[in-house]
Chains A and B, each alone.
Chain A
């Protein structure tokens, strides 16, 4: 018997297994072949298409649309995967509403872009379903490259290097490869263990070994890697979480949103996963939206996103905000946390209204209290454990356009490095481009 939404505290089993299963199905079910044909037919085959310009990986979108129209989804999939080897995951998680679909001329024309994301999924699913890997390795170069971190940037880099004939070892600290694809992406965007299926498929290129439990600075060191490999690619992500500096932040029930999301992704039985009755998520990005929506899907009665600036400043796109709202999440803007109240465990969060003067945020002194037995912090991640000797820019590893760090033989990409947004698709582009540069360096 499910506990129900109104059970106090942080408890598991608020909803029945059936309800949970239904809640965590695909956000956007896959397109059927006829739907895909109709959807692809809407593409105008633009000249120098704006959608391609908007795609960090420069996928030739009009070409793959035409290939779907012409009845060859697998060829369409190959067009995508040539540019973006994680095109399957990107089809599911890309904020297309701020990338290709925002740039689509049909968005301009009628507010209804070609459904590029869903069509990309249709095409890449077709390739995956065939079980074949459409790329072949070049003959071996005898060179070896270490990739640190098996997230999107690392996987994309490793695949491209392997394809070019290099031997790659990926060092991954977690038990499973995939990085945020495995531990971070909203569960309702990547169902049926897609992240692992995609990694397995990617590895079919050959020439890539993954060593899990391999932690930079603990079990391995950059110097050692430099001695043993011809090149290094760092894609270590942002392992740190910004602290909530407010009295009571150490109370029970205050958690990091990324860990909460990871727990949901890794849960073998969602009914065993505890969630609060009153959940408050601090932050305004996609992590905040994911955590808030997941809380609702798990059965939380009231879920609030508390964000310190105005709605327009939120990192989450308008589409993501609407997604949260459609799941019954309340979005509270222009408030910042000042205290977590409760006797040992959180019971309420005190929020102070904010005002912005010349970009400077200040509290107005007015506060409200919102019931909160669970507080999820989604206030940003930070670089943690970057090896000594690398030049940083801000709080990221400084790299040039080709992904080269300040240290010879060491490249970096993905969220840990400068350049681009912290998106899966951007990480893939950076990993791929760094691989091409590593290849030219090793071929010189």
Chain B
């Protein structure tokens, strides 16, 4: 079995799976259960400044989006940072870290954007023996109204400033957790790096209203007939997270900055994808909140199994492997020509490919009276929609034409060489390859 031991910023953990700063990591009791179950690390539920703790609503904090059979696909929350006294959290963290020295324990922090506030809390955290801190610049609900959380994460200058304070008053790794509620994720990531951050973690949750109650017209989750946007997470947000992670991994200003990937990690495969896009660890929350801590067994065994199959002996070997393949649209090879091909033996004749293509795409699938569906190569642009809507995995495939073949749609030979939009004759800005 491949060894999953991870070294991230010098912080060692037996596997790359950390529990994200969230309800599952709010108390010693939960964290001990997580470590007993086998989790590699935890980012403790976000601590606030000394003094009376924040309060939470006393009604529903979560709303959900379901797929078939009530499978939870997306979760939204309006819970704030920890509502337990700072002192108790710090004591518990110290005890847990002492008892589980091999696990990663990170303190998540959110205090006002004032140097004194950070200067005050950082030594307290250091005393617990925590392996590092994560700056919560991400939560989009509640705390952002008080100038914290995503309100900081949306202003790169604040990120850089606070990060710099933390590096000044704390001597262990500083991870900056980023909000996705922003236009260009590269800007806050670069600001974090400029401020001296050791790593970024992303994504935090996305502004969301999960649904509207059509009897009361209140957004859900509803508190006494009113609702507020919450933070969206779970499997539904994974594609957004992967994209943002990849942008940071490949941008010049942030390339090489360690990343802890967050956003809908549900199975080992999700984790492997995040890791391949440059993440040194992944953080999990919704999957644990849905199924409990025991999923760690599948997460670790699955990743090990896949690494064995592929011949990777350490997580580090996988980190960033997919990054060179993430590019801009303009660099995609326009001489690559594929055609959809329907395997008649696997086809169950539902006609979804036909409806999708005929109604919404290129009229490139024919339907006979006997319900035989065939691709019309003269019309097929290889858009992949038929593959995406086909209920039978592997029934429709995209077959690339080989160089020299005639593309029946254009009547032209498939060129053997790579050519992109930059040099395309239709591009008014094309640099003529004369």
Residues of A that sit less than 8 Å from B by CB: 34, 37-38, 41, 44-50, 105-106, 108-109
Contacts and interface: CB of A to CB of B under 8 A. Distances in A.
A47 B355 CA distance: 6
B348 A48 contact: no
Nearest to B359: A47
A352 B69 CA distance: 54
Contacts of A37: 69
A69 B348 CA distance: 22
Contact of B69 (A41, A47, A50, A105): A41
Given A48-B367, A48-B371, A108-B349, 12 more contacts: A34-B70, A38-B68, A44-B352, A45-B352, A46-B349, A47-B350, A47-B354, A47-B367, A50-B349, A50-B371, A105-B348, A105-B349
Nearest to B389: A44
B23 interface: no
B391 interface: yes
B392 interface: yes
A109 B70 contact: no
Contacts of A108: 348-349
Contacts of B70: 34
Given A50-B371, A109-B391, A109-B392, A44 B350 contact: yes
A44 B68 CA distance: 12
A109 B348 contact: yes
A34 B69 CA distance: 8
A41 B350 contact: no
The 10 closest A-B pairs by CB, nearest first: A47-B351, A47-B355, A109-B348, A41-B68, A105-B348, A46-B350, A105-B350, A108-B348, A44-B350, A38-B69
Interface in B312-336: none
A50 B372 CA distance: 13
Nearest to A107: B348
A280 B348 CA distance: 42
B69 A48 contact: no
B342 to A, nearest CB: 14
B351 A48 contact: yes
A69 to B, nearest CB: 9
Interface of B: 68-70, 348-352, 354-355, 367, 371, 391-392
A109 B354 CA distance: 18
B162 to A, nearest CB: 47
Given A109-B391, A109-B392, A46 B69 contact: no
A38 B71 CA distance: 11
A237 to B, nearest CB: 36
Contacts of B69: 37-38, 41
A393 to B, nearest CB: 29
A68 B351 CA distance: 21
Contact of B352 (A34, A46, A106, A109): A46
Contacts of B367: 47-48
A103 to B, nearest CB: 10
Contacts of B352: 44-47
A46 B351 contact: yes
25 contacts: A37-B69, A38-B69, A41-B68, A44-B352, A44-B391, A45-B352, A46-B349, A46-B350, A46-B351, A47-B350, A47-B352, A47-B355, A47-B367, A48-B351, A48-B367, A49-B351, A50-B349, A105-B348, A105-B349, A105-B350, A106-B348, A108-B348, A109-B348, A109-B391, A109-B392
Which of B349, B350, B351, B391 has most A Cβ within 10 Å?
B350
B348 to A, nearest CB: 4
Contacts of A49: 351
A424 to B, nearest CB: 27
A225 B392 CA distance: 58
Nearest to A45: B352
Contacts of A46: 349-352
Nearest to B371: A50
Nearest to B353: A47
A47 B371 CA distance: 10
A108 B354 CA distance: 18
Which of A47, A49, A108, A109 has most B Cβ within 10 Å?
A47
A276 to B, nearest CB: 47
Which of B70, B351, B355 has most A Cβ within 10 Å?
B351
Contacts of A44: 350, 352, 391
B393 to A, nearest CB: 11
A38 B69 CA distance: 5
